[in-house]
Copies of this chain bind each other. A is one copy, B any other.
Amino acid sequence: MATMVEVARRAKVSVSTVSHVLNGTRHVEPETRQRVLAAIEATGYRQDALARALRRSRTDSIGLVVSDAGEPAFAGMVHGVEHAAVENGLTLVLANSAEDADREKKAVQTLLNRRVDGLILARAAQSDPILLQSLELEKPPTILLDRIFPELPFDQVGADNRETMRQLVAHLIGSGHTRFALVAGDTRVPTLRERMDGFTDAAFDARLSLADQAIITGKDTQAVADELEGVMKSGEPTAVVACSTPLAVLSLQALGRVGRSTPGDVAFAAFDGFDNSDLFHPQVTTVRQPAFDMGVAAVNLLVERLKAPDASPRTVRLRQRIEWRESTERYGRSDS
């Protein structure tokens, strides 16, 4: 690869002139400028981003750490981040933590070593407060994505989980349901906790007794499934709400095992949901995550943070859309 000195020699100018035509950072006579461009063309020269970054101490790159590269919602966020990054002239360095605090820490280290201008932590594992504290010390510009920790002094972007769940459940209550099974999962995860809170909000609003509601929490999926089976056998809930796609899968399987189906025997709705829900039965009512937009929002926050390092942290919440489908439609019709 040709370097700047070769281009300079060939154009009979100094390297600084070459640099300046490249970056448009000061005026150069049109004629010499042409000579330089010609020389660049002739040599096939390309600016070395490494040397440039070293000198300017800016890499024009950002790091994204996601905690589960397997999930579809992840793909959406990565997509959004990538899109907004190029839009802002940034390139994206991607790392996956696989929900492992250790790998997450390593990933962050690697990214910082590479001198990324900023960091986006998407769905950071709930065990990472330690990491976050260490980040607070060094203060590399950092955005938290998806999982929001209100008490932490970071820019954050998430979805409006609590309010959306409240609306969803309020609607179901409106169509006659009074006994729910909420498959809440590991409520130490902020996202899941917010959804559970939204549920209790709705129950409270409608003066439903929480004692009549089965709120199933826990990290162990097998235990959650078992508990749901038990609750369904007792026959009381008329509606099941699952708080994530994995929990929805597990719930549908459990329902199958106890011989209940939706919407016939029980209403069903899920957060995060499934792709192509329209094509298959049961068509399940779903809350779509604005994953792409969340990625975009994260980059935008980051870019602003880079401009104003000392502005006070902001939290952005994006609205989610409830996609109503047949799995929640039956109740109050066939029965009436």
Complex contacts, A223 vs chain B, CB 8 Å: none
Shortest C-beta distance, A247 to chain B (Å), equals 13
Within 8 Å by CB of A74, from B48, B75, B112, B279, lies B75
Shortest C-beta distance, A98 to chain B (Å), equals 8
Contact with B along A41-57 (1 / 0, CB 8 A): 00000111111011000
Stretch at the interface among A8-16, A78-86, A149-157, A314-322: A78-86
B53 engages A82 (CB within 8 Å) = no
A252 engages B275 (CB within 8 Å) = no
Residues in A lying within 8 Å of B, measured CB to CB: 46-51, 53-54, 59, 61, 69-72, 74-76, 78-79, 82-83, 86, 91-96, 103, 107, 109-115, 249, 252-253, 274-276, 279-282
A92 engages B95 (CB within 8 Å) = yes
> In whole angstroms, how far apart are the Cα atoms of A71 and B76 in the complex?
9
Nearest B-chain residue to A79, judged by Cβ: B69
Within 8 Å by CB of A113, from B49, B69, B109, lies B49
> In whole angstroms, how far apart are the Cα atoms of A48 and B54 in the complex?
9
Known interface pairs A54-B54, A78-B69; A48-B115 also in contact (CB < 8 Å): yes
Listed from nearest, the 8 A-B pairs whose CB atoms lie closest are A280-B280, A75-B75, A69-B79, A49-B113, A94-B94, A49-B114, A281-B281, A82-B96
Shortest C-beta distance, A72 to chain B (Å), equals 6
Complex contacts, A110 vs chain B, CB 8 Å: 49, 91
Q: Which of A61, A96, A111, A252 has the most CB of B within 10 A?
A: A96
Copies in the complex: 2
> In whole angstroms, how far apart are the Cα atoms of A72 and B79 in the complex?
11
Within 8 Å by CB of A91, from B47, B70, B79, B93, lies B93
Q: List 28 A-B contacts (CB under 8 A).
A: A46-B109, A46-B113, A47-B113, A48-B113, A48-B115, A49-B115, A50-B54, A54-B54, A69-B75, A69-B79, A70-B75, A78-B78, A79-B96, A82-B95, A86-B103, A91-B93, A91-B95, A91-B111, A92-B94, A92-B95, A93-B93, A94-B94, A253-B279, A274-B276, A275-B275, A280-B281, A281-B281, A281-B282
Nearest B-chain residue to A89, judged by Cβ: B110
B78 engages A94 (CB within 8 Å) = yes
Complex contacts, A83 vs chain B, CB 8 Å: 69, 96
Complex contacts, A59 vs chain B, CB 8 Å: 50
Complex contacts, A279 vs chain B, CB 8 Å: 249, 252-253, 274
> In whole angstroms, how far apart are the Cα atoms of A59 and B51 in the complex?
12
Complex contacts, A51 vs chain B, CB 8 Å: 54
Within 8 Å by CB of A112, from B46, B53, B115, B252, lies B46
Complex contacts, A48 vs chain B, CB 8 Å: 54, 113, 115
